[in-house]
A = this chain, B = another copy of it.
Amino acid sequence: MYTIGQAAKLTGIPAETLRAWERRYGLTPPERTNAGYRLYDDAALATFREVGRLVEAGWKPREAVLALKDHDVEWLPDAREFVEGIASGSLDLEQATATLGVRFAVQPFSRVVDEWLLPMLGFLGEEWAKGRISVEQEHELAAALMRRLGLVFESAAVQRGGPVILMGLTEGNRHELGLMAFACIVRSAGLDVRYLGPDLPAEEWGRAAKRARPAAVVTTAPSQADLPQVLAVLDAVRAIVPDVVMCVGGQRQYEVGEPVIALGHRFGEAAHSLAQRLGVAV
* Chain A contact residues, CB within 8 Å of chain B: 1-3, 5-6, 9-10, 12, 42, 45-46, 49, 58-60, 63, 67, 89, 94, 134-137, 139-140, 142-144, 146-148, 150-151, 153-155, 157-158, 160, 168, 194-201, 204-205, 207-208, 211
Contacts and interface: CB of A to CB of B under 8 A. Distances in A.
| Shortest Cβ-Cβ A-B pairs, 4 listed | A147-B150, A136-B204, A143-B197, A139-B197
Nearest to A141: B197
B139 A59 contact: no
Nearest to A146: B150
Given A134-B207, A136-B205, A6 B194 contact: no
A168 B146 contact: no
Nearest to A158: B94
A105 to B, nearest CB: 10
A13 to B, nearest CB: 11
A134 B58 contact: no
A136 B137 CA distance: 28
Contacts of A6: 58-60
A147 B153 CA distance: 8
Contacts of A59: 6
Given A136-B205, A204-B136, A154 B148 contact: yes
22 contacts: A5-B58, A6-B58, A9-B58, A10-B155, A46-B154, A46-B155, A49-B155, A135-B200, A135-B201, A135-B204, A136-B196, A136-B204, A136-B208, A139-B168, A139-B197, A140-B194, A140-B195, A140-B196, A140-B208, A143-B197, A147-B150, A147-B154
A80 B248 CA distance: 37
A146 B151 CA distance: 11
Contact of A89 (B2, B9, B205, B211): B211
Residue among A10, A151, A155, A201 with the highest chain B CB neighbour number at 10 A: A151
Contacts of A157: 12
A248 to B, nearest CB: 18
Nearest to A66: B1
A102 to B, nearest CB: 12
Contacts of A200: 135-136, 139
A143 B196 contact: yes
Contacts of A142: 197
A15 to B, nearest CB: 13
